[in-house]
């Protein structure tokens, strides 16, 4: 199987660190191991009254927790005493708890104030964005390949904080190199729970906006035999559970490996999230997002069951103004470092038929944007398509009239790679502004510096900006639907 693991230079912990180990940035945040952060939870669709989940990590002896919340601008606090604790008990780690409280009801599109109490003392307070209703404009951020604890990751986090998104989506590779509890402790949480926003610290993003996203290679392929604290993605995140029906024994699920006791400990902590949370969809504002499990070399998106789920999910979202798919493994990209990896082209027919507007990917540590395009695959031999390096040739049609300025209605899907969120190693930087090295479908390529993708959605108009770690706009375009004026 084709892999890039040995080509990545991001640092990794060589030993299993205890869960109580914290970077200096968080030492003042006791009694927390990780300070509170917000999640969408298993709430894929709009509701008349919205909700948020608040999660935090703490020791098991801290039992008298409660949370109070209110919509910003109101006076009365609502008290929540129902705190759910999931114990994380893994070989080699001191046991700890992931605590969870649901904040409900909340007005759609509002901001929620919340404060966490321990033993009748308020120990944390923050304010977070609540999902926007379909008629309310909103902004969000997409960036992949983030969690190394690097200076660049912190600088990007600061710029994202200045942009003030309602949610942040990571296509994959939340943390390097093996998706471990110990790596989240050092490489991820300190950056996004920083007590203040600064270029050498990061920013308090997790407490203010929902993080969403998919599994990348480095979130997926750890073996519990060698990394018993691996697959921590399933411990720490709470995303919708509305994906295709899966069980741990099915062939589409990445095997955990390891001893039976290790697998049992993992499943006990992951609960219903494993493996069901690997693919899912959600609505935000007037957009519908589908997040897919893609790098996984055991999942086959030519399987009729998986295709039927994807087709049905997109069909029920036909009234959404914007349809966006997240595929960590890019269907179309130009990096000379990874010229293969065309596996996810097998779903393009479904995306085109459903009127998908954008596909976001990670994997390649660069920013890439295609023309709006349509693709017809060449006939291929029968059989599964599972290897991330699978080649899927075919015929292309490009909308070269679209320029994102004067001509803003796209005929086809725009594919974007946004993989410069924090891993110090950028891929093929020499291809930046060097079209001779690009595939014919590519119109922008930038791996000169770390950056993120910012989206502003306002009715039938979508504005995309690619913003550098220094705050410079590297690329921008506007997409419109027929009911919107072009300028």
Chain segment 223-256, per-residue pLDDT in tens: 999 999 999 999 999 999 999 998 766 789 999 9
CATH of 5-24+134-480, picked from 1.10.10.10, 3.60.21.10, 3.20.20.70, 1.20.1630.10, is: 3.60.21.10
In the β-sheet with 32-39, what is the strand arrangement from edge to edge? 32-39, 50-58, 96-106, 84-88
* Residue 19 confidence (pLDDT) above 50: no
Can you give the pLDDT at residue 1?
33
Task: Tell me the C-alpha distance between 59 and 42, whole Å.
Answer: 25
d(C-alpha 355, C-alpha 373), whole Å: 12
CB 23 within 8 A of CB 438: no
> 40-82 pLDDT, tens per residue?
999 999 999 999 999 999 999 877 999 999 999 999 999 999 9
How does pLDDT run across 372-403, given as a tens digit for each residue?
999 999 999 999 999 999 999 999 999 999 99
Q: How far apart are CA 91 and CA 234, in angstroms?
A: 17
81 to 103, 381, 416: CA distances (angstroms)? 11, 57, 43
Residue 6 pLDDT > 60 = no
Q: Please, what is the average pLDDT of the chain?
A: 93
- pLDDT tens readout for residues 317-364: 999 999 999 999 999 999 998 878 899 999 999 999 999 999 999 999
**What is the DSSP secondary structure assignment for residue 147, as one 8-state letter?**
B
pLDDT value for 22: 33
Assess whether pLDDT exceeds 50 at residue 25: no
* Distance of alpha carbon 126 from alpha carbon 206, whole angstroms: 10
Element (H, E) at 467: strand 461-468
The answer to whether residues 322 and 130 touch, using CB atoms and an 8 Å cutoff, is no
Q: Are 55 and 36 in contact (CB under 8 A)?
A: yes
Give the count of alpha carbons within 13 A of 340, CB side only: 11
- Dihedral sign for Cα 118, 120, 126, 131, please: positive
Average pLDDT over every residue of 15-19: 33
CB atoms within 10 A of CB 312: 11
Q: How far apart (Å, rounded) are the C-alpha atoms in residues 449 and 231?
A: 29
CA-to-CA distance for 408 and 340, rounded, in angstroms?
Answer: 31
Average the pLDDT over 261-277 and give the result. 96
pLDDT at 247: 73
Tens-place pLDDT, residues 89-129: 998 899 999 999 999 999 999 999 999 999 999 999 999 99
For the cut 50, the answer to whether the pLDDT of residue 2 exceeds it is no
Q: Is the pLDDT of residue 155 over 90?
A: yes
Measured over the CA atoms of residue 353, residue 359, residue 362 and residue 367, the dihedral's sign is positive
**Rounded to an integer, what distance in angstroms lies between the CA atom of residue 447 and that of residue 419?**
9
């Amino acid at each position: 199987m084709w892999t890039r693991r040995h080509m990545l230079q991001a640092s990794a912990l060589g030993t299993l660190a205890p869960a109580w180990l914290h970077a200096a940035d968080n030492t003042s945040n006791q009694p927390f191991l990780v300070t509170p952060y917000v999640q969408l939870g298993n709430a894929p669709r709009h509701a008349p009254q919205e909700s948020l989940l608040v999660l935090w990590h703490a020791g098991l002896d801290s039992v008298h927790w409660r949370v109070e919340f209110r919509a910003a601008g109101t006076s009365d606090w609502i008290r929540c005493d129902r705190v759910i604790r999931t114990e994380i008990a893994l070989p080699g780690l001191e046991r700890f708890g992931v605590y969870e409280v649901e904040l409900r009801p909340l007005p759609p599109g509002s901001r929620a104030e919340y404060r966490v109490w321990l033993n009748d003392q308020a120990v944390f307070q923050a304010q977070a964005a609540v999902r926007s209703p379909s008629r309310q404009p909103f902004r969000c951020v997409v960036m992949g390949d983030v969690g190394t604890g690097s200076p660049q990751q912190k600088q990007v986090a600061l710029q994202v904080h200045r942009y003030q998104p309602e949610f942040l989506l990571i296509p994959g590779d939340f943390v390097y190199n093996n998706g471990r509890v110990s790596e989240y402790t050092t490489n991820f949480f300190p950056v996004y729970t920083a007590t203040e926003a600064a270029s050498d610290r990061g920013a308090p993003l997790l407490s203010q906006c929902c993080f969403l996203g998919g599994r990348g290679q480095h979130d997926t392929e750890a073996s519990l035999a060698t990394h018993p604290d691996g697959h921590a993605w399933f411990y720490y995140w709470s995303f919708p559970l509305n994906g295709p029906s899966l069980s741990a024994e099915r062939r589409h699920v990445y095997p955990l490996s390891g001893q039976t006791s290790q697998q049992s400990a993992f499943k006990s902590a992951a609960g219903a999230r494993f493996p069901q949370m690997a693919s899912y969809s959600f609505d935000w504002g007037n957009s519908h997002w589908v997040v897919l499990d893609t790098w996984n070399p055991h999942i086959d998106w030519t399987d009729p069951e998986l295709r039927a789920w994807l087709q049905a999910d997109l069909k029920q979202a036909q009234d959404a103004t914007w349809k966006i798919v997240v595929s960590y493994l890019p269907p179309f990209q130009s990096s000379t470092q990874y010229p293969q990896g065309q596996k996810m082209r097998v779903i393009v027919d479904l995306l085109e038929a459903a009127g998908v507007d954008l596909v976001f990917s990670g994997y390649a540590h660069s920013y890439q944007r295609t023309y709006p395009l349509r693709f017809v695959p060449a006939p291929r031999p029968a059989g599964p398509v599972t290897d991330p390096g699978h080649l899927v040739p075919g015929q292309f049609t490009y909308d070269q009239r679209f320029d994102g300025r004067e001509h803003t209605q796209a005929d086809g899907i725009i594919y974007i790679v946004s993989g410069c969120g924090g891993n110090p190693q950028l891929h093929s930087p020499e291809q930046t502004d060097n079209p001779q090295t690009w595939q014919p479908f590519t119109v922008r390529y930038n791996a000169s510096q770390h950056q993120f993708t910012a989206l502003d959605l306002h009715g039938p108009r979508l504005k995309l900006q690619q913003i550098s770690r220094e705050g410079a706009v590297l690329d921008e375009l506007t997409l419109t639907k027929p009911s919107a004026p072009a300028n």
